[in-house]
Structure 1
Amino acid sequence: MNDKISVLDIDIDNYTAKEAMKETVRYLESDPVNVVELVTVDGLMQMDEVPELKDDIRKFDLVLAGDKTILEAADITDRRTIQETEGHVFMKMFFRYIHKNHKRVYLLVESEEEGEHLYNYLEHSYSGSQIIGLAKVSAQNRADDMLVNAINGGEVDCVISILSSPLQEEFIAKNRGILNTRIWMGLGKGILPVGRPGFGQGRITQFLMKRIFKKEIEKRKRDMSEALVSAK
């Protein structure tokens, strides 16, 4: 199953976790860097403000919904798909695979705190993962050349990024052609339990963001309906 859905003009692959994992394993056996991205509500809202970036995202190999709210916006009601998305089943399958198969991983974060939390999460949940390096990426001082050299020098199989949007997408779109890794796994913010604000503050922020997102989706659907009626 892969009927693509479109949310805020971003094409998203409607895969089951097993289907997505099958594709990802195939990517890990190929040489060119393949880009896999789990998009969130916040990420889609941020990317919507950078229209020129959407063409780059269409060239990504696999784009998956990281939040059931995105599926609901596309009128996806399949119970299994929603449950797998809500439980982050694909992400957990991916982490188990790279751990079991001793894949070499490089981590990209935006702060020392995020780096510490992400490293500890992987060590606790997937003890023995081969984390080769970790680097901070700053929107103000990117230092792309140094980061690319560090990643390439580590001879890694996978880069795991938990950068915010659109920084995450801009970085891989610009440097994809010179990265020597097999998979770029863009997880962004909010999917992993790391780098989040305080529990209460985080829940409130997510709630408000989802309300804004839903209103924007409703507005666009309404505008499209009116445009269709006017065209008749």
Structure 2
Amino acid sequence: MDQRIDVLGIDIDSCTAKEALRKTIGYMDFVPISTVEMLTVDGLMQMGESPEIKEEVCKFDLVMAGDKTLLEAADITEHKILQETQDQVFLKLFLRYLHKNHKRVYLLVESEEEGQRFFDYLQRYYEGVQVIGLAKVSAANRADDMLVNAMNGGEIDCIIAALSAPLQEDFIIKNKNLLDVRIFLGIGKTTLPVCRNGFLTGKIGQFLVKSIFKREIEKSRQK
């Protein structure tokens, strides 16, 4: 199964983890940079009413659901895809690919603590990944020019961004034409276990966010 579905103005690719991995690995052979996004309910809701951002995200090379709630909202019922999304199989397969092939990556986070935990996670489970650099990206204090220069100077293969929406999307939209990198992978703040901090990423916060999301879906269906 490989199709694009619309969820609150964002086109999401509905495909298996292996299909997504095959596409992503294929991007390694092409320039300029390819953009891959793992979109979560949190990320979609935080984009709010930003039609410009949503329009650009729809142009990304691959947009996957990072949360099975997104697929359920689009009436996707195929058990394999739902389960793989829940278990983050694509991300695990891609990190394994980076590990086995000793690819060079650059990490983007929002705090030193998140960065350290992300780095430790990769070192523990995917030690073959070469982390060339790690940087904090702040909505209040952007230094995109310096960061782009640092990444281009590192001869990296992939950028992995664990940022909030729409900061994550805005960063790559504004800088993709300047980056000499094969792949930008945006995973958001709630995809990796090491990033599960704060109210919105806790069980109660997730319950509230998903409840609001489901109400928005119902509203869109009634229009």
After TM superposition, the score normalised by the length of structure 1 is: 0.93
One-letter amino acid matched to 1:161: A
Which stretch of structure 1 is more off in the superposition, 157-166 or 53-62? 53-62
Cα distance in 2 for residues equivalent to 1:152 and 1:87: 33
- Between Structure 1 and Structure 2, how many residues are aligned? 223
- For structure 1, list consecutive stretches of 5 or more residues without a partner in the other structure: 224-232
Do the aligned partners of 2:102 and 2:130 also contact (CA within 8 Å) in 1?
yes
Distance change >3 Å, CA 36–CA 106, structure 1 → 2: same
Which stretch of structure 1 is more off in the superposition, 124-133 or 109-118? 124-133
- For structure 2, list consecutive stretches of 5 or more residues without a partner in the other structure: none
1:9 corresponds in structure 2 to 9
Structure ID, larger Rg = 1
Cα distance in 1 for residues equivalent to 2:201 and 2:153: 39
Q: After TM superposition, what 4+ stretches of structure 1 lie above 6 angstroms from structure 2?
A: none
Quote the RMSD (CA, aligned, Å).
1.4
Cα distance in 2 for residues equivalent to 1:97 and 1:200: 30
2:205 corresponds in structure 1 to 205
Do the aligned partners of 1:36 and 1:60 also contact (CA within 8 Å) in 2?
yes
Check if 1:162 corresponds to 2:167: no
Do the aligned partners of 1:41 and 1:210 also contact (CA within 8 Å) in 2?
yes
2:38 corresponds in structure 1 to 38
TM-fit CA distance, 1:198: 5.7
Which stretch of structure 1 is more off in the superposition, 168-177 or 49-58? 49-58
**What are the within-5 Å matches in structure 2 for residues 101-180 of structure 1?**
101-180=101-180
Identity of aligned residues (%): 62
1:96 corresponds in structure 2 to 96
Cα distance in 2 for residues equivalent to 1:190 and 1:205: 12
TM-fit CA distance, 1:109: 0.3
3-state secondary structure, aligned to 1:35: strand
One-letter amino acid matched to 2:212: I
Do the aligned partners of 2:200 and 2:206 also contact (CA within 8 Å) in 1?
no
Cα distance in 1 for residues equivalent to 2:110 and 2:117: 12
Cα distance in 2 for residues equivalent to 1:210 and 1:95: 27
One-letter amino acid matched to 1:222: Q
Do the aligned partners of 1:16 and 1:81 also contact (CA within 8 Å) in 2?
yes
After TM superposition, the score normalised by the length of structure 2 is: 0.97
TM-fit CA distance, 1:201: 7.1
3-state secondary structure, aligned to 1:44: helix
Distance change >3 Å, CA 200–CA 218, structure 1 → 2: closer
Cα distance in 1 for residues equivalent to 2:143 and 2:204: 34
2:55 corresponds in structure 1 to 55
1:228 corresponds in structure 2 to none
1:229 corresponds in structure 2 to none
